[in-house]
Structure 1
Amino acid sequence: MKLKSLAFRLFATSAAWVLLVLPIAGIIIYQLYRDDLQTSFDARLEKLVNSIAVDSMGSGSDPIAPKNRYEPLFEDPSSGWYWQIKPVEGDSAPTLRSVSLGDTSIELPIKHDIKPDGNGARWMNSTGPAGEGIRMVEVIDSPLPMGQGQRYSIIVAGPIDWLESRLANFLTRLAIALFLTGVGLVTVTLFQVRFGLLPLRRIEQALSDIRSGRAVKLDGELPAEIEPLQVELNALLASNQEIIDRARTQVGNLAHALKTPLAVITNEAREDRSALGTKVAEQAEIMRDQVNHYLDRARVAAGAGVIGRSTPVKPVLEPLKRALERIHRERNISITVDCPADIRFAGERQDLEEILGNICDNACKWAKENVSITVSASTSRRPPGRLAILIDDDGPGLSDDQRARIGKRGVRLDETKPGSGLGLSIVTDLVQSYRGRLDLAKSDLGGLRVQLDLPAA
């Protein structure tokens, strides 16, 4: 998944949202649970202290030990669960304690000037006899009507560790649950992004097939959101093909319209044996060559870059190799071809034949024994792939100055070789029509290397 891709943006946005929301939700849930557990813990302490107050202050002038202790841990020494009944003023009255408290006492919240709540209870966190943290609740009561006897502080305490341990356990389970939820959501998001963008991948493959000539339009059933894009693309392809067909028709009409008058002029001039007739025939031949050349360029320009035009390269090279070896069999020219079978040229077959035919024929004319043709292609779709064709010979080669002059129209470096000097110029025009490049360099075989860069299908 690439950083600049739409899939990464969707996935990263969703993942960031999950990573932001889940911790916030966890904090809120933890705080709510903490408050609820604290309220429940305090309610339990308050219930115990009220029950003990009722049992101990039932009758007489002195408190009595409650018959029902309500909590078994009150009998377990240093358990953290304690109750205590102690006079508020003076020490003349007896102090009652739970077994768990032993001979020690708990400090009174009323002595710390803690204000009572709406129910008359005072709350305080303190330290127990074993040094543990405890939370206590205190109510003030008396066996006799208020104002007529000794007031007593009735305290029930519970361990803070009991509260904290349950919070810690809940936090652990909550963290595990939220982590698994986050992993699940991120996984589902990744699947959702992949599945949701799958039609775009199908469009990418379909467009690649159209560009390489394996298809002529965008077929297949697509989601309703993308279907208008499919319709518009197919309409664009159809319109593009109509424009190309009209251009080719016009070029063909122009060719017929010019060739017939030129043929008439040439024939008439040839019958005239005068100097004027000879000159007219000569110029008419030049005009015919120029007309053919520029009509061919117009045809190539109309077809170059057209979506869906593709030609396999190897089926073009193999017949060319056999033909050139037969033509130059007296010189024992050997041509080697290294071209994978699946490489395709994004253009017309006859244009590729003309490009390779001119260059390979020229290489055979100058070679001593060997000509090598190597073809490779890039596999990238963005941007579209390119063909790299290297044609080497073991001939005398060219100097830097000669390589600079060789592409000019009609320039020939050796008049002993047959030809008009237009071949490489025509090849250059064709290559440029396909937005390619042609470079000349020194070959590893010792002669000339022609490097072609052309669009790949």
Structure 2
Amino acid sequence: MISSKPVIARFSSIASRLLLASALLLPLFLGLTGFFLDRAFENSLEVAERSRLRGHVNLLMSVAEPITKNEKIHSLRMPVTLSDADFEHPNSGLYSYIFDNQSKLVWRSNSAALSDPPDYKRIAKSNTPGKMLFSEKLLGGNLHFIARYTVKWEDARGTPTPFHFVVAHSADEYTAELKAYRNELWRWLGAAGIFLLIAQTLILRWGLRPLGKLAQALKAMQSGDTSNIAGEHPRELQKIVDNLNQVLEREQALRQRYRNSLADLAHSLKTPLAVLQSKLVEGVESDGELQQIASEQVARMNQVVTYQLQRAVSSQQKGTFRRTRLEPIAQRLFAALQKVYAHKHMEQELDLAPNSIVAGDEQDVMELFGNMLENAFKYGNKQVRVRSFVEDTQLRIDIEDDGPGVPDDQTERILERGQRLDTTIPGQGIGLAVAAEIVRSYEGNISIHRSELGGARFSVCLPILPISS
């Protein structure tokens, strides 16, 4: 059994496929072109032939004179010689005849003197006086073009006498001219086909050269010589190259983020592990004290791991432009936080614009507003309010509470990692920092102001539409 894999591999490139398609379609196109050109030239030869025959018939009628007897026309008188030389040379290929109403030969040209006259009844199946009729017939074994015209001459009494003028021209000249044209036509079309294939091969090589350049740039990047796809490329490929470079940059940034997170995680776990190790080596007075120390350090390690996981997740959303409705997320967060802070009996107010849609991943939006709403519930006294406004291509969300608020000189510091203003309430100062990182990763911004409720107002601006690349 013959495998088809070599054949598939042979035409796996774009150039080979285009050349194969051209090699199959070009002969078909040139064949149709040659066919239509051949038909057009053949029709033009037939039109020219009929025009010449019409001229010959008109010439014969113009020089014919009726012969009368007893005031009746019984024949026609023709000149001894005609102006067209082909009518005078025997067997020249151009012949003329005149027949009477009984299909009897009345006159013939000198060129037809050495050949038998044709049978008019075989030439003409019917007659239409006053109309030029054309046909193709075999005369003497050769094809001839024939023109017929019937004229009725009236005598002195007005009695019409019909006469049939016939001109026959051999088709040898027509056939030879058509054959010569066809030979030249197919010769030139064949040469044009070869030229077009060669030209298309060169054009394909020139046109696909940027793909080879792109492949070299990718190979250089893969080998580590460059960090992205370098060089200038055609407009159609440049968009792909730019998008690939953006993907590569995001992948490199994400990989670096993972490295930093692992380094931070290792550094953060180093201290609590050292404390545990030292206590185990030194020994403690009681199991209760060891349990307390282990519980504290394990809780701290859990906080560190949770934060690093949150930071790793928040770094992945850039470039994933999903559309997330804010209202159902806000409703779920309100319901959950009301249970957690049920002892505070918080009053909640939700006033969202109809088209409050964030161009972001649902988990990121949940993480972002979950941290901020929890902060509002944690530091608010009795009231929390969430409102949204559409401003151009951005959605602004205000989260307000009636708590102590944030001093103006502390608005930047509170968004930093591990920074807390009120240390009396349990917390690690991570939630707002994570929220700020998510907002920045979506190219948005977050600001802190004084709320009308008396506490803090956190304003978050996020793009409604995907960020243009």
TM-score by length of 2: 0.49
Counterpart for residue 166 of structure 2? 155
* C-alpha contact (below 8 Å) 1:135/1:157 kept by paired residues: yes
* C-alpha contact (below 8 Å) 1:80/1:132 kept by paired residues: no
Task: Give the Cα–Cα distance (whole angstroms) in 2 for the partners of residues 102 and 143 of structure 1.
Answer: 29
Cα deviation, residue 209, structure 1: 0.7
Q: Does structure 1 residue 121 correspond to structure 2 residue 132? A: yes
What is the CA RMSD across the aligned residues, in angstroms?
A: 3.5
Q: Does structure 1 residue 170 correspond to structure 2 residue 178? A: no
Give the secondary structure class of the aligned counterpart of 2:50.
helix
Task: Give the Cα–Cα distance (whole angstroms) in 2 for the partners of residues 102 and 86 of structure 1.
Answer: 18
Cα deviation, residue 134, structure 1: 1.0
Counterpart for residue 147 of structure 2? 137
Cα deviation, residue 152, structure 1: 3.0
User: In structure 2, do the counterparts of structure 1 residues 162 and 101 end up closer, same or farther at CA, with 3 Å as the change threshold?
Assistant: farther
Counterpart for residue 382 of structure 1? none
Task: Give the Cα–Cα distance (whole angstroms) in 2 for the partners of residues 172 and 111 of structure 1.
Answer: 33
* C-alpha contact (below 8 Å) 1:80/1:128 kept by paired residues: no
Cα deviation, residue 216, structure 1: 1.8
Q: After superposing the two structures, state which structure 1 stretch, 3-12 or 169-178, moved more.
A: 3-12
TM-score by length of 1: 0.50
User: In structure 2, do the counterparts of structure 1 residues 142 and 67 end up closer, same or farther at CA, with 3 Å as the change threshold?
Assistant: farther
String of CA shifts for 1:188-233, please: whole Å, max 9, x gaps. 3333333222212211110011001122211111112221211111
Cα deviation, residue 101, structure 1: 4.0
Task: Give the Cα–Cα distance (whole angstroms) in 1 for the partners of residues 100 and 15 of structure 2.
Answer: 74
One-letter amino acid of the counterpart of residue 176, structure 1: R
Q: Does structure 1 residue 218 correspond to structure 2 residue 226? A: no
Task: Give the Cα–Cα distance (whole angstroms) in 2 for the partners of residues 48 and 90 of structure 1.
Answer: 20
Higher strand share: 2
One-letter amino acid of the counterpart of residue 49, structure 2: F
Give the secondary structure class of the aligned counterpart of 2:102.
coil
Counterpart for residue 52 of structure 2? 44
User: In structure 2, do the counterparts of structure 1 residues 83 and 110 end up closer, same or farther at CA, with 3 Å as the change threshold?
Assistant: same
Q: After superposing the two structures, state which structure 1 stretch, 251-260 or 229-238, moved more.
A: 251-260
Unaligned 5+ segments in structure 2 are 1-8, 284-469
Cα deviation, residue 123, structure 1: 2.7
Give the secondary structure class of the aligned counterpart of 2:235.
coil
Cα deviation, residue 149, structure 1: 7.1
User: In structure 2, do the counterparts of structure 1 residues 150 and 111 end up closer, same or farther at CA, with 3 Å as the change threshold?
Assistant: farther
Task: Give the Cα–Cα distance (whole angstroms) in 1 for the partners of residues 167 and 124 of structure 2.
Answer: 17
User: In structure 2, do the counterparts of structure 1 residues 66 and 27 end up closer, same or farther at CA, with 3 Å as the change threshold?
Assistant: farther
Q: Does structure 1 residue 194 correspond to structure 2 residue 205? A: yes
Structure 2 counterparts to residues 2-401 of structure 1, below 5 A: 2-57=10-65, 62-66=75-79, 69-89=82-102, 94-108=106-120, 112-116=124-128, 119-129=130-140, 131-141=141-151, 145=155, 148=159, 151-253=162-264
Give the secondary structure class of the aligned counterpart of 1:197.
helix
One-letter amino acid of the counterpart of residue 45, structure 2: L
User: In structure 2, do the counterparts of structure 1 residues 59 and 95 end up closer, same or farther at CA, with 3 Å as the change threshold?
Assistant: closer
User: In structure 2, do the counterparts of structure 1 residues 43 and 116 end up closer, same or farther at CA, with 3 Å as the change threshold?
Assistant: farther
User: In structure 2, do the counterparts of structure 1 residues 114 and 52 end up closer, same or farther at CA, with 3 Å as the change threshold?
Assistant: same
User: In structure 2, do the counterparts of structure 1 residues 208 and 224 end up closer, same or farther at CA, with 3 Å as the change threshold?
Assistant: same
User: In structure 2, do the counterparts of structure 1 residues 108 and 123 end up closer, same or farther at CA, with 3 Å as the change threshold?
Assistant: farther
Give the secondary structure class of the aligned counterpart of 1:126.
strand
Unaligned 5+ segments in structure 1 are 273-457
User: In structure 2, do the counterparts of structure 1 residues 164 and 99 end up closer, same or farther at CA, with 3 Å as the change threshold?
Assistant: closer
Cα deviation, residue 167, structure 1: 1.8
* C-alpha contact (below 8 Å) 2:95/2:108 kept by paired residues: no
One-letter amino acid of the counterpart of residue 36, structure 2: I
Cα deviation, residue 154, structure 1: 2.0
String of CA shifts for 1:164-205, please: whole Å, max 9, x gaps. 222222222222232233333333333333322221221111
Task: Give the Cα–Cα distance (whole angstroms) in 2 for the partners of residues 39 and 68 of structure 1.
Answer: 28
- Aligned positions, number: 269
Give the secondary structure class of the aligned counterpart of 1:139.
strand
Q: Which has the higher contact order (CA 8 A, sep 6+)?
A: 1
Q: After superposing the two structures, state which structure 1 stretch, 106-115 or 25-34, moved more.
A: 106-115
Give the secondary structure class of the aligned counterpart of 1:33.
helix
* C-alpha contact (below 8 Å) 1:55/1:67 kept by paired residues: no
One-letter amino acid of the counterpart of residue 102, structure 2: E
Q: After superposing the two structures, state which structure 1 stretch, 59-68 or 3-12, moved more.
A: 59-68
Task: Give the Cα–Cα distance (whole angstroms) in 2 for the partners of residues 82 and 96 of structure 1.
Answer: 8
* C-alpha contact (below 8 Å) 2:11/2:17 kept by paired residues: yes
Task: Give the Cα–Cα distance (whole angstroms) in 1 for the partners of residues 88 and 173 of structure 2.
Answer: 17
Cα deviation, residue 121, structure 1: 2.6
* C-alpha contact (below 8 Å) 1:210/1:216 kept by paired residues: yes
Task: Give the Cα–Cα distance (whole angstroms) in 2 for the partners of residues 162 and 109 of structure 1.
Answer: 26
One-letter amino acid of the counterpart of residue 242, structure 2: V
* C-alpha contact (below 8 Å) 1:109/1:138 kept by paired residues: no
* C-alpha contact (below 8 Å) 2:94/2:111 kept by paired residues: no
Task: Give the Cα–Cα distance (whole angstroms) in 1 for the partners of residues 94 and 175 of structure 2.
Answer: 15
